[in-house]
Structure 1
């Protein structure tokens, strides 16, 4: 009895420390959120943060952040460890890269890793990632023909050694980007983020008398493995395939996946997906894998912590194609197809688990990068403005889809006041788009209508990074498709869903974001739900 009691107390103690570890990485992420210079990080939470053991295994991640960053970071730390030998790691070091194939898939994401020492011993690594407003080159868009055109490439290297910042790196950054103060400021914010995590971890370990995280890591991973094995054992076994068509750049792109559920793991294979594109819409496998694992986790084990042990149950493979692009393919807009991967994987799982999987949604964020300039030289100001926008989620079995919600990326909506503050533009309208949610027993989420114009005396070019303009989100189980997206000027001129384009002075850019697909037979939607849709203005006039 006494032994059992001591065992229970030990387990409770470990659980408390696990919770403390999560609070450490959450404070780490919030430090970045509060100190970042770029609006996309500060206002939208386009970041990630996590703590890893000395072997590079992710112990805990912050809730704040995106799956694409967190799950790629879980693999990226191992690349840092391979590039920088242990004997060259010192207290006060911080390492950095934006290598798309060793980081998070494109050059705009900066990943920093810092070793954490206690009493001279390496006890952990802290890692964080954030999207910066500019990395030079052609800017954030699909128009480059190789990664060399897309911006400055930073191999895995030291940003700081023994607490001393490498000023050569800072000078190179300033010489290569359009917004040097914002970008360099974000580099320092990322470094501070890891430093805060290190300090909190060391404080915790000293408080509870830990010399290493070995026992806590063993506790975390063993509990996670047991829970994951139990969930996978309860799933049907077999293989199921799905495909979906996206807008692409010049031509539609087919994405394909086969999901195989085995006794003790789940496999995803992207064989059948279209070849790499000559445009910057390719996706390195590290990012495709991140979102495939996220989709699987949402279905298999949404309540089990995300760490190296849970991710180890998912394997992702692919021949070289648009979801497994190889260097030097252009990859700036890797997020578009990366964000489509969850719908692709969920479509296969819907065949394995009928009646349990949501309909397709808008998927990819409708990011827009705006380069504003005065029409008369010297009579205005230039600025680079990055804005994230969300369409509607697919309807769920038993629930309507969420409107204007960033699934699967999870970033926050950017306040229009914060966006207008970054450059000479006006956002005249930002509201839900009536009629964009697919009809069904459960309605798809609505997209948005966003209207943007340059301030008087200015014009702008914008990089369109949109999808589901020509291929709407599909409904499920008899639900109707969501509304397709529309990009146009206020005079009716249709714009392309991808590529750099021009908005002249005096004109307004109007974006009508796609809605999510409906779920179930529309004839079964309750009269109360339809009345509520009408009251809230969710329907088009001719649908009322």
Structure 2
């Protein structure tokens, strides 16, 4: 790669970050949820067709960003990329496939350029109410916490899934606000997709595959360079928290090596019977 090509790809990478930041800001401007509007409890990003995240918005929370990064792959296993069409929007709040609890909705939207699927946009947001006991640790099962949405299409080919929205409104104390939030999440993905199409036209690109390769290779190289500056070895620590039934211990041992960092949580307290456990998506 020439120096000029490297510069051009860095410019496009920065533009991609601007695209997803506008995606996030669109959600903040249109969301009904005060947690989104006032606290930025959201994430927004763009993914390749393998479900790998290329860029994420600066606006958002780290917990959402990391779990959303894993969740898009689950969407693709349910709805492979070749089955998607313009105007589709997929949604879930499955805590094990999405972002940890039922109040967090994740929406995935395909982006098309010149009739060809080129990327996926995804976001996660904390909505106002999904029924059940509400927020808090009181529930003894996920079914007590509210409406459980598997991975489904809330919009198909641009048309709302009427059955989905009937179930959604029936399962919440605030049907207007929750439905409005779903529309907001879909709209912000569409805003990102429009900006991506404009970017591809501006740079005369057919897709983002070459840029994705540059992003992944550069990110991995830079990460390993920084890890190499750390002292190798194993470092362990633990803290205690109040828990619910009894105090809980959180333990972690970090092993630093030349090829990466691993974290072992052995020694951490077992599962609680209340809603304070952490799903693998947060690990």
TM category, shorter: over 0.9
Instruction: Give 1:155 deviation, angstroms.
Output: 0.4
151, 158, 165: which one aligns with 1:163: 158
Q: Deviations over 1:271-315 (max 9, x none)?
A: 11111011111110111x2xxxxxxxxxxxxxxxxxxxxxxxxxx
Alignment of 1:364-513 (within 5 A): none
193, 196, 201: which one aligns with 1:198: 193
Alignment of 1:21 onto 2:23 = no
Alignment of 1:97 onto 2:101 = no
154, 163, 177: which one aligns with 1:182: 177
Instruction: Give 1:222 deviation, angstroms.
Output: 1.6
**Which segments of 5 or more consecutive residues in structure 2 lack a partner in the other structure?**
none
Alignment of 1:131 onto 2:158 = no
Q: Deviations over 1:40-98 (max 9, x none)?
A: 11111100100011111111000000000011011000010011123321111110000
Question: What is aligned with 2:143?
Answer: 148
Question: What is aligned with 1:279?
Answer: 274
Which piece of structure 1 moves more, 109-118 or 215-224?
Answer: 215-224
35, 39, 45: which one aligns with 1:40: 35
CA distance in 2, matches of 1:268, 1:142: 27
> What SS does structure 1 have at the residue aligned with 2:146?
coil
Give TM-score scaled by structure 2 length.
0.98
Alignment of 1:51 onto 2:43 = no
CA distance in 2, matches of 1:284, 1:226: 29
Instruction: Give 1:114 deviation, angstroms.
Output: 0.5
State which structure, 1 or 2, has the greater radius of gyration over its C-alpha atoms. Answer: 1
Instruction: Give 1:220 deviation, angstroms.
Output: 1.3
Question: What is aligned with 2:260?
Answer: 265
CA distance in 2, matches of 1:228, 1:259: 16
Question: What is aligned with 1:107?
Answer: 102
CA distance in 1, matches of 2:22, 2:235: 41
Question: What is aligned with 2:111?
Answer: 116
Alignment of 1:241 onto 2:236 = yes
Q: Deviations over 1:113-156 (max 9, x none)?
A: 00111122111000001001111111111111101111110001
**Which segments of 5 or more consecutive residues in structure 1 lack a partner in the other structure?**
1-5, 290-544
Instruction: Give 1:173 deviation, angstroms.
Output: 1.0
> What SS does structure 1 have at the residue aligned with 2:107?
strand
CA distance in 2, matches of 1:38, 1:86: 30
Computed over aligned residues only, the root mean square deviation of the Cα atoms, in angstroms, reads 1.0
Question: What is aligned with 1:317?
Answer: none
Question: What is aligned with 2:76?
Answer: 81
> Is 2:238–2:249's contact at 8 Å kept on the other side of the alignment?
yes
> What SS does structure 2 have at the residue aligned with 1:43?
helix
Q: Kindly indicate whether structure 1 or structure 2 has the higher relative contact order, using CA contacts under 8 Å at least 6 residues apart.
A: 2
CA distance in 2, matches of 1:101, 1:16: 36
Alignment of 1:326-365 (within 5 A): none
> Is 2:49–2:81's contact at 8 Å kept on the other side of the alignment?
no
Give TM-score scaled by structure 1 length.
0.51
> What SS does structure 1 have at the residue aligned with 2:250?
strand
CA distance in 2, matches of 1:27, 1:285: 29
